[in-house]
A = this chain, B = another copy of it.
């Protein structure tokens, strides 16, 4: 670690001018106010356009050079250094787990004094961060992206799917993908389709509290994900996150049935209308649902996606023009989040009719989040069915969007795309079971 470790370009020049070093407390003036915090090193792959301060609140602030007016060193810090933890020796015969980083902070190495965070890029570093991992698996870390998950696109899904497929060929016993939680559910759904039939466990994992906070859920989520990816007897795409607020149990969710239902709680992720796939406690798997696919078997990845699908949430007085806009933006499939059992206003229904007539595929999900559509109960629903709207049953709208982009990626369109949207391909919809 140098004096300005990780900084480059304009950011480096700015800091050199102020005489600052990593670990110093800086007062930085910006166009919108003054910020005081400890200068922390950048990620290995950070850009040259930002400096990062650790605030007293424990959060890191990234400041764009754009808005910086000036800075001064308020207090010199000690030169930071990562403590050296000699990694424990991996036990022999451990399963091989590929750990793919996408930019979530979960598999990052942290200096708890400065708050510096950077991806752990070697096994040794990773084991020194979470020593338990070395007892669970031979972990091979690989940073694929370093982006915030709100910027993940279908192009990233495709790269991830291809990498997992290669890992299967290379003999990995499991894959863990660390991912920002914001769009973790969308990515899990996307991979569930692209990797349907994958013969090993592929487990996405995130953290709601960054690893530089004492209350972080990162280490336990990671341990559980690696343990399950390495040794579980089942295969498929899943999400591993805290089951409750306490730091003891990890819920494993099916990739097509999981949703981030809270902005900040550790147990923000929930399986919607289906039981958990598994529960992991500190001593290993405590519960595994019946019917999960076993390891092994045929596998033909279909990793392509096509962005030509849109998600529209209906609301009172929504202009029909929004449907036309989605089409103009290139949507060949539109997933509508209707109200209740799957309804939209007459105006929006009329636009969906035109969209379908022009060759588009319109699908209906519900903004209720939980429960199943029924387009046979009310006039509106029957009109929608009649005009050819695809009823998605109990499929999550977010899953439906990812599926639509995958369906288009297979080259399907029109009637074939409709049929694929309807059919259960990766556990995304279940047979009707009427509540009450």
Contacts and interface: CB of A to CB of B under 8 A. Distances in A.
Copies in the complex: 2
Contacts of A314: 150
A150 B264 contact: no
A329 to B, nearest CB: 4
Most chain B CB inside 10 Å of its own CB: which residue of A266, A307, A434, A436:
A436
Contact of A263 (B181, B245, B340): B340
A436 B265 contact: yes
A436 B383 CA distance: 47
Given A182-B343, A264-B371, A339-B183, A379 B148 contact: yes
Given A262-B368, A436-B265, A337 B313 contact: yes
Interface in A357-406: 366, 368-374, 376-380, 382-383, 386, 398, 401-402, 405
B346 A264 contact: no
A183 B367 CA distance: 11
A250 interface: no
B266 A436 contact: yes
A118 interface: no
Contacts of A341: 182, 263-264
Contact of A67 (B181, B366, B369, B386): B386
A345 to B, nearest CB: 5
A395 B153 CA distance: 27
A366 B314 CA distance: 16
Given A61-B382, A329-B319, A370-B262, A151 B346 contact: yes
A186 interface: yes
Contact of A313 (B215, B263, B313): B313
A244 to B, nearest CB: 11
Given A61-B382, A315-B186, A368 B263 contact: yes
B371 A262 contact: yes
Contact of A377 (B59, B311, B329, B344): B59
Contacts of A319: 310, 329-330
Contacts of A182: 339-341, 343
Interface string A299-337: 000000001001111111111011011101110000001
B313 A307 contact: no
Interface residues of A, number: 83
B337 A382 contact: no
Contact of A311 (B209, B262, B315, B379): B315
A92 interface: no
B368 A261 contact: yes
B368 A317 contact: no
A352 to B, nearest CB: 13
Contacts of A268: 368, 371
A365 to B, nearest CB: 10
A260 interface: yes
A106 interface: no
Contacts of A186: 315-316
A62 B382 contact: yes
A1 B345 CA distance: 32
Contacts of A230: none
A50 B379 contact: yes
A321 B328 contact: yes
A371 B265 contact: yes
Contacts of A386: 32, 67
B371 A183 contact: no
Contact of A435 (B32, B265, B324, B339): B265
Interface of A: 32, 50, 59, 61-62, 64, 67, 148-154, 180-183, 186-187, 209, 215, 245, 260-266, 268, 307, 310-319, 321-322, 324-326, 328-330, 337-346, 366, 368-374, 376-380, 382-383, 386, 398, 401-402, 405, 434-436
In order of increasing CB-CB distance, the 3 nearest A-B pairs are A263-B371, A325-B325, A182-B339
